[in-house]
Amino acid sequence: MLELIAASANDFEELLALRIRAMQPSLERLGRFDPQRARERLRASYDPAVTRHIMCGGRRIGFVALKPCEGGILLDHLYLDPAFHGQGFGSQVLQQIFKETDQQGAILHVGALRASRANRFYRKHGFIYSHETEWDICYRRPPAILRNETMQTGILQTLPAHASYLTFNAKANTDAPALRSALTALAKLVDGEKIVLGIGANLASKLGAQVNGLRNFDGIADSRVRLPATPADLWCWLRADERGALVHHAQQIQTALQEAFELQHQLDAFKYDTGRDLTGYEDGTENPQDEAAFAAAIVQAQGPGLDGSSMVAVQQWRHQFEKFDAMSSTDQDNAIGRRKSDNEELEDAPESAHVKRTAQEDFTPEAFSLRRSMPWTEQGKAGLHFVSFGNSFYAFEAQLRRMSGAEDGIVDALFKFSHPVSGSYFWCPPMKDGQIDLCLLHID
């Protein structure tokens, strides 16, 4: 069990020695290790009033300093003695700090030396990139209150047992006031949890609205496979524990929208076993978790009306089970890059394996997104309704480009037995005071 205990002015020399031990390898990598400069820098910033020893079993294993700064709190120092690296102590200290900053409703800021492993550590714990200085990369983490109250919570929640996806288009010749009035009626139904709402780029432009980052899906240049683009004005993801609720919600939505929008498509989906695709493979294993899921999926630091929102990419994939079933189990595992029997990743999977094509850390910058896909079935056809939430469309597009063979000519082996029959982008607005916030569409 870790404890944080107040430091005193007399601790300076010991803390300096600890800091040097912790930072020396990163500074040497940058060719900037200089003990005299290390002393001067800590001397300039050392303030015992905001510094605490990290104690474990009565022994000091590091120290931490949190300072008030413009726009929140600065994590000025967090150092662990190298003997205690890699044992989860850093995460434990961060969890304690998060509790404190969440209670204060404060944004936590931190900077990490460019070559330092700390960058990965902070990103993994949900810090989001803010800006760069000559030597440091700076990150920020909004408090829980900002994160939870401003987003449609269904995005981060686990998959429901049942779902329906409804897409709508504006009726021909409907003017902006009529569209706004239908959306105002819809907004009363959208709680962000049982009904998650997305807005298409064409609708935003019909309303004269500017939503930064929102655009239509337009395929992938140089793709070796067909990637249909099927824009729509509205997307509703209905989520429920049983199907009856979906029927009622779908009817209410259609009634609210009937004057101005018509239903383009409705698709029912469901959770299969523990969250498998219908091929039997676990889906979602490498999804970012908790803070990291929030950072990957939710727009932040872009301003009111956008913060708390999410960009969702939606693709209905149809499986050709006769092709999949004709593959040997080794070929099936190689197509995914994981073993179906125990979900282990295959070390020697071919370059075409799906998880090799999409490995989120293998992109520059890294391409993390939050996948919330569900199996669907309709009139004897079936597949995966792929849904990927991001703080932009970057991650989805980077992954799809690699899958499509546009980069190196190698097409994702998924295409041997499945193909997309739709493709669209939507903007999922934030929540404000328990209601969907459509202020960017000029709807109060």
Q: Quick one: which segment of 25-33, 39-47, 55-63, 356-364 binds ligand HEM (CB under 6 A)?
A: 356-364
> How, if at all, do strands 310-319 and 381-390 pair?
antiparallel
Task: Return all residues near 19 (Cβ < 8 A) that are at least 6 apart.
Answer: 38, 42, 63, 77, 79
Of 147 and 401, the one with the shorter C-beta distance to ligand HEM is 401
Could you give the CA distance from residue 282 to residue 343 in angstroms, rounded to a whole number?
A: 7
Of 72 and 420, the one with the shorter C-beta distance to ligand HEM is 420
Could you give the CA distance from residue 56 to residue 6 in angstroms, rounded to a whole number?
A: 14
Query: 390 pairs with which residues across the strands?
Result: 311
* Torsion from C-alpha of 227, 228, 230, 235, nearest 10 degrees: -40
With CB under 6 A as the contact rule, the residue among 315, 352, 391, 422 that binds ligand HEM is 315
> How, if at all, do strands 136-141 and 128-132 pair?
antiparallel
With CB under 6 A as the contact rule, the residue among 119, 300, 352, 358 that binds ligand HEM is 358
Using a 10 angstrom Cβ sphere, with 0-12 exposed, 13-18 middle and 19 or more buried, the burial of residue 175 is: exposed
Task: Return all residues near 142 (Cβ < 8 A) that are at least 6 apart.
Answer: 107, 300, 301
Residue 336 interacting with ligand HEM (CB under 6 A): yes
Classify 378 as helix, strand or coil. Answer: strand
Residue 400 interacting with ligand HEM (CB under 6 A): yes
Could you give the CA distance from residue 417 to residue 327 in angstroms, rounded to a whole number?
A: 9
Query: 199 pairs with which residues across the strands?
Result: 234, 427
Report in angstroms how near the CB of residue 335 gets to ligand HEM at its nearest.
9
Residue 261 interacting with ligand HEM (CB under 6 A): no
Of 140 and 401, the one with the shorter C-beta distance to ligand HEM is 401
Q: Quick one: which segment of 82-90, 215-223, 304-312, 384-392 binds ligand HEM (CB under 6 A)?
A: 384-392
With CB under 6 A as the contact rule, the residue among 129, 284, 320, 392 that binds ligand HEM is 284
Of 193 and 282, the one with the shorter C-beta distance to ligand HEM is 282
CB 333 within 8 A of CB 344: no
Of 180 and 419, the one with the shorter C-beta distance to ligand HEM is 419
Classify 323 as helix, strand or coil. Answer: helix
Number of Cβ atoms within 10 Å of the Cβ of 283: 22
Task: Return all residues near 359 (Cβ < 8 A) that are at least 6 apart.
Answer: none
With CB under 6 A as the contact rule, the residue among 139, 168, 237, 396 that binds ligand HEM is 396
| Residue at 213: amino acid letter | G
Residue 392 interacting with ligand HEM (CB under 6 A): no
With CB under 6 A as the contact rule, the residue among 127, 281, 425, 427 that binds ligand HEM is 281
Residue 285 interacting with ligand HEM (CB under 6 A): yes
Report in angstroms how near the CB of residue 354 gets to ligand HEM at its nearest.
5
> Which residue's C-beta sits nearest to ligand HEM?
286
Residues contacting ligand HEM: total by CB under 6 A? 25
| Residue at 391: amino acid letter | N
With CB under 6 A as the contact rule, the residue among 151, 384, 440, 441 that binds ligand HEM is 384
Of 163 and 400, the one with the shorter C-beta distance to ligand HEM is 400
Task: Write out the binding residues for ligand HEM, residues 414-433 only, by CB under 6 A.
Answer: 414, 418
User: Interface with ligand HEM by CB under 6 A: which residues?
Assistant: 277, 281-286, 315, 317, 336, 338, 354-355, 358-360, 384, 386, 388, 396, 399-400, 403, 414, 418
